[in-house]
Structure 1
Amino acid sequence: MTTRYEPGDGRLDPSLNAIMSERRQLINLAYRLLGSLADAEDVVQETYARWYAMSRQQRQAIESPGGWLTKVASRICLDLLGSARARRESYVGEWIPEPLPDRTINGRLGGSSVDPADRVTLDESINMAFLVMLESMTPAERVAFILHDVFRYSFAEVAEIVGRTPAACRQLASSARRRIRASQAPATPAAQRVDIVRDFKKAWEAKDIDALIGLLAPDATGIADGGGLASAVLRPIEGGEQIARVLVDIFGQAPNLAILERTVNGQPGLVAQQDGVIVVVMAFEVVGDRIKHLWAVRNPEKLRPWTTG
């Protein structure tokens, strides 16, 4: 979609720089709300289209263009989250949020600051385990939580976006926060996570089942997302030993597979290349000294940020 950035009389819109400077913030927000960079980009395009569909006088009358853009983008996301649940129920195989290369999106925090004691940081809010947990929330919980706890909007501002009272939004965020806390494990030091993923890579390349089993928690879960296009693994694989055996089988069937260390959603991860093309992106959740969850994305549509640079 092409968005026109000049008013009808051909003169440059004086608010263009200020408006376009909000784009990264909106992408940041929409990705965390939707778990898809492609959908986030569509939301931002639609948001700008609605801005430029207004007359110059209507735009000039808006006191805070950035606030207006955030409100519209959030409402579009809220609508999309409702329909996304239905789409994901008919999705072939398991659905995993779209993985992102290092530094694909980042940006400033926005809104007013309240209640910072147990705030989720912008970096924490992008890791795969966190995004997967967000999928268990209702759309309203997710929007209220992300806007307040991650992007630091007040509950009064959230209420205006979600269409509920500030007290109701506070309850939504509190409910979401309880879900997050119930699922969180004690953090493993970053250097240790890097070492465990690196050891996992070496064991996988060596087809060393015993070493893989030693790195995976006994009750580990492996989930593959091929979107029905590139994966025969349609259900989660339960148990460290079973995951290890499946991985070794995969490597045996693709002898020219190259495994590389990469940052995936801000965490140590791996990518698999075949003939120089990335075909799998793997994210991990490390608990203690073992891998608890492994997510492997093979859906070509979700690998677009990795394959197009």
Structure 2
Amino acid sequence: MDSVAIDRFEAGRGRLASLAYRLLGSAADAEDAVQDAFLRWQAADRDRIEVPEAWLTRVVTNLCLDQLRSAHARHERAAGDLLPEPLLQGDPMLGPADTVEQRDSVSLAVLTVMQRLAPVERAAYVLREAFCYPHAEIAGILDISESASQQHVHRARRRVAAERRGGGAEVDPASARRVVEEFLTATTSGRVDRLVAMLTADATAVSDGAGLARRLLRLTGPEQIAANVRAGFRPTPAKIRLAGGTPVLYIAEVNGAPAVLALVDGRVRGAVVLDLRDGKVAGLCGIAAAGRLARLDAAWQRLDNVPPAVAGW
């Protein structure tokens, strides 16, 4: 392959990886899809490809659709793999992030809802909301009619809005940090009543059960969520043995949302990501499966002198 063809592919690699991540919810799987697309680009008759960007977008999208359909048919994924892979803010795979819709499309709350959409519905939604493709182009990419594209996007938007229940409003970093600090104070002090007061009446939570559950744990309502969160943050000898030491808690930004990271011996062992609404917590996503935290942990290791929010359990 000549250098011009390689350069043309590499110029769009970041956009393709971001598309694949939104579709698959996994950075590692997204990178594999992009590499497969590169191999197809390498083998293609490139002189016959009029618009390389459109061609590559179609290839990556359909590679992701094949993977989503295959995983759905096998029912083989562990609970931890059913949640999106969290990425530390600044990870290039999170882009583009110029509009509210683009930023929201990569939030863990939306990615979690999208896990439950039909593959083609998910693809239409991502192409429209995150990459601003017109329905005519989405129809060509997915080999459907333009009206079908409109219907898929409409249903996906309605599903996302219904399940988020108004969450996801943009919050400035300073306000978000204050909410997380209050959340940590409530959870680590044992004041369940304070934690209940921080949650919206329709709050929801989802977790992979410290990376050990065989299926996702879903909670609803402030009392149930607060009791489980407090139990999860309560230190016990068994938990410390399981974690391999005493966790240190940090506040971070993950997929555009405030989060609490639990580190043991300097490595990220768990993440709790908060979805905020009107100064309260409308949603929680807890991830501890090691395979879902590797990229976030690698990014965290590159940061310097981040002070802990809670130095020890």
TM range (shorter): 0.7 to 0.9
1:289 aligns with 2:279: yes
**In the TM superposition, what are the counterparts of 1:151-162 in structure 2 within 5 Å?**
151-162=131-142
Please give the root-mean-square deviation of Cα atoms over the aligned residues, in Å: 2.7
Alignment equivalent of 1:225, drawn from 189, 208, 224 = 208
2:184 corresponds in structure 1 to: 201
SS in 2 for 1:307: helix
Alignment equivalent of 2:196, drawn from 209, 213, 219 = 213
Segment of structure 1 superposing worse, 252-261 or 122-131: 252-261
SS in 1 for 2:269: strand
Q: How far apart are residue 251 of structure 1 and its match?
A: 6.4
Q: How far apart are residue 234 of structure 1 and its match?
A: 5.5
1:240 aligns with 2:225: yes
Which protein is richer in helix relative to its size?
Answer: 2
SS in 1 for 2:90: coil
CA contact (8 A) 1:218 1:241 kept: no
User: For the structure 1 residues 193 and 27, does the alpha-carbon distance in structure 2 shift closer, same or farther, using more than 3 Å as the test?
Assistant: same
Structure 2 residue runs without a partner (length 5+): 300-313
Structure 1 residue runs without a partner (length 5+): 1-6, 111-118
User: For the structure 1 residues 200 and 251, does the alpha-carbon distance in structure 2 shift closer, same or farther, using more than 3 Å as the test?
Assistant: farther
Q: How far apart are residue 223 of structure 1 and its match?
A: 2.3
1:99 corresponds in structure 2 to: 86
**Identity among equivalent pairs (%):** 31
Letter of the 1:286 partner, please give it: L
1:75 corresponds in structure 2 to: 62
* Deviation string, structure 1 residues 1-49 (Cα, Å, up to 9, x no partner): xxxxxx3xxxx43222121110000011111111111111111011001
Q: How far apart are residue 232 of structure 1 and its match?
A: 8.9
CA contact (8 A) 1:222 1:295 kept: yes
Alpha-carbon distance in 2 for matches of 1:212, 1:192:
17
Alpha-carbon distance in 1 for matches of 2:138, 2:62:
11
Count of paired positions = 287
2:310 corresponds in structure 1 to: none
Alpha-carbon distance in 2 for matches of 1:181, 1:73:
27
CA contact (8 A) 1:224 1:233 kept: no
TM-score (normalised: structure 1): 0.83
CA contact (8 A) 1:94 1:223 kept: no
User: For the structure 1 residues 172 and 218, does the alpha-carbon distance in structure 2 shift closer, same or farther, using more than 3 Å as the test?
Assistant: closer
Letter of the 2:56 partner, please give it: L
CA contact (8 A) 1:124 1:130 kept: yes
TM-score (normalised: structure 2): 0.82
CA contact (8 A) 1:205 1:259 kept: no
Alpha-carbon distance in 2 for matches of 1:173, 1:201:
37
2:303 corresponds in structure 1 to: none
